Amino acid sequence: MCMNVLAYGEKAEGEKFKYWTHTVSVSAHGGALVEDATLETGQRFQLMNEYNRKKAECKVVGTRRCNDGVWNIAFEFVEGGENFWSMTFPASGAKPLRRMVVKKE
């Protein structure tokens, strides 16, 4: 799911950063955003949801370079992630709903 977010904080060297980006995936516990390799695994940063203006502290849990040269940064909420996306997620372990197909005779 693509959500516009503002990522901001400090790099390991102490240099501050702030930029608009978007997510490529979201969950009740965090998500993944598009980035230019500013963030490193274990690093904490702040995130603001453009839609509802909620803020949360996050931690990078993984990075992956894509074929087009951009990076996907996986993160988890450390603080303030409750209803950050303003949506409801299925309970852990829930099975997907199946639609009934009705045959027309």
Domain count, the chain: 1
- For residue 105, the model assigns a pLDDT of 66
**Residue-level length of the chain:** 105
| Structural domain contains residue 70 | yes
Give yes or no for a contact between 57 and 76, defined as CB atoms under 8 angstroms apart: no
User: For residue 40, what are the domain limits?
Assistant: 4-79
Is residue 58, in this structure, part of any structural domain at all? yes
Band of residue 100 on the pLDDT scale cut at 50, 70, 90: low
Cα–Cα distance, 54 to 80 (Å, whole number): 8
Residue 91 lies in a domain: no
Cβ neighbours around 11 below 10 Å, total:
13
Tell me the mean pLDDT in the region 91-99: 75
Tell me the residue type at 87: M
Please tell me the distance from the alpha carbon of residue 83 to that of residue 9, in angstroms, as a whole number. 22
Q: Is residue 33 a part of any domain in this protein?
A: yes
Q: Dump pLDDT digits (tens) for 26-80.
A: 999 999 999 887 788 999 999 999 999 999 999 999 999 988 888 999 999 999 9
pLDDT at 75 (0 to 100): 97
Q: Is residue 94 part of a domain?
A: no
Residue 50 sits in a domain of what CATH number?
Answer: 2.40.10.220
Model pTM? Answer: 0.82
